[in-house]
Copies of this chain bind each other. A is one copy, B any other.
C-alpha cells in the first residue's frame, strides 16, 4: 500500500484503490460528546493510524463535513468509516447487537478504573472517550466492560482526549501486531 505524508494528503484525495488496501482492525472508536472539532479531527487521524474499523460520533460531537475536523484529520475523514448517533448509549446498544462478543472499554478516571497497561484487551473492541471537561457520562460507563485510566505523575489530573486515546490505542495494537 502506498503511504502518504500529511502534506500530500492535504493536497489530494487518496485513490479508492489505495484506501481499499488498508486491512481494517476490529477497533471501534466512540466519541461521547467530544465537543472540540480539533479533537474530533485528530481522532480521525488516529483512527486511520491504527486502521480502526469505524469512528462513531455521538451526541454533541460535530460531524463531517466540517472544515476544522477535516483540517485536523488531515483529510482522513475522506476514507475513515464513521457514523453518527444522537446518543452514546444508543450507539453502544446498536454496536453490541451488531458485533458479537464486542468488549467495550471507556478511557476515564473512575473508582472502577484499572491502569490502561494492565488490561488484557480482547477483540473486537470499542474504546469510548468523552467530553473534554465532564469525561465519559455515567450511563455510558455502566455499559462498559471495563474502565481504563492512564497514570498521572504531575499536578494536573488529565490529558488531552486525543493524547489519551492515542496512548491506549497503541497499547491495544500491541495485542494485534
* CB-based contact B4/A157 at 8 Å: yes
Interface centre among A14, A76, A157, A164 (most CB of B within 10 A): A157
Counting contact residues on chain A (CB < 8 A from B), the size range is 35 or more
Interface centre among A45, A76, A158 (most CB of B within 10 A): A158
Residues of B within 8 A of A102 (CB): none
Give residues in A with beta carbon < 8 Å to B: 1, 3-7, 9, 14, 18-19, 22-23, 25, 38, 42, 45-51, 74, 76, 79-80, 117, 133, 150-160, 162-164, 166-167, 170, 173-174, 177
* CB-based contact B45/A155 at 8 Å: no
CA distance A170 to B153 in the complex (A): 11
Given contacts A7-B133, A163-B42, A166-B163, contact A117 B174 (CB under 8 A): yes
* CB-based contact B157/A79 at 8 Å: no
Residues of B within 8 A of A174 (CB): 117
Across the A-B interface, give the 3 residue pairs with the lowest CB-CB distance, nearest first. A48-B154, A51-B153, A163-B166
